[in-house]
Amino acid sequence: MPKIVDHEKRKIKIAEATWKVIVDEGLEQATVRKIAKVADMSVGSLRHYFSTQSELFAFSMKLVSDRVRNRAENKYYDGPPLESMQELLSEFLPIDEERRIEMEVWMVFSSKTLVDPNLKALSQEVYDEMHRASKMVVEGLIESGLASQALNKSLEIERLYALIDGMALHGILHPDRFSVEKMQTTLKYHLKALCN
């Protein structure tokens, strides 16, 4: 079905152009006209794929979570448990240019979820998904005997999840203050602290 593939490819190309405009110039500049220009197509053809800006934004935001999820799911975790968990959680941190762009875009869209119901639903889905990932890590540490049964599981999940998102935020907004190395060391320190 080459036509369907092409259709999806074009949508992704438009979404990536949207990311680029957001990262370079900010969300206010992300008009359909400018995005079409960056995607090298006419406003008319763009409208063929997305009839409203809100639809385009929702797809562009979803592309971030799809990419992150795919990477996290398709990675082969074969190291010791603590290292595997560090690797998994690092997928949610801006540890390289690709992830930094994705998370910057995610952050910009997140601040828009407060006033755009279309984006809000996706934001909540991803919140729940990330919450489950944090749960998996905390339960994994306990079940493997690395962390104590006596931990307060529910609070450890909230703590881990908030720590990850806080580090991502600091890494995006203040890469000169909070380097990738600091991010990784702090995460490692936290996981080890759970195992004391």
Contact residues toward a copy of itself (CB under 8 A) are: 23-28, 104, 107-108, 110-116, 123-124, 127-128, 131, 152, 155, 158-159, 161-167, 169-170, 172-174, 177-178, 182, 185-186, 189-190, 193
Nearer of residues 136 and 173 to a copy of itself, judged by Cβ: 173
Specify the residue, 75 or 132, whose C-beta has the smaller distance to a copy of itself.
Answer: 132
- What is the smallest separation between the CB atom of 66 and a copy of itself, expressed in angstroms? 20
DSSP of 129-140: HHHHHHHHHHHH
How many other C-beta atoms are found inside a 10 Å radius of the C-beta of residue 177?
9
Give me the least distance between CB of 81 and a copy of itself, in Å please: 21
Q: Give the residue with the Cβ less far from a copy of itself, 28 or 78.
A: 28
Residue pair 92/168 in contact by the 8 Å Cβ criterion: yes
Compute the residue count for the chain.
196
The DSSP output letter for 27 is G
CB of 141 to a copy of itself, least distance (A): 15
Q: Please check whether residue 153 is in contact with residue 142, taking contact to mean a CB–CB distance below 8 angstroms.
A: yes
The C-alpha atoms of residue 47 and residue 56 are separated, in whole angstroms, by 9
C-beta of 54 vs 84, nearer to a copy of itself: 54
* Distance of alpha carbon 151 from alpha carbon 94, whole angstroms: 29
Instruction: State the minimum distance, in angstroms, from the CB of residue 169 to a copy of itself.
Output: 5
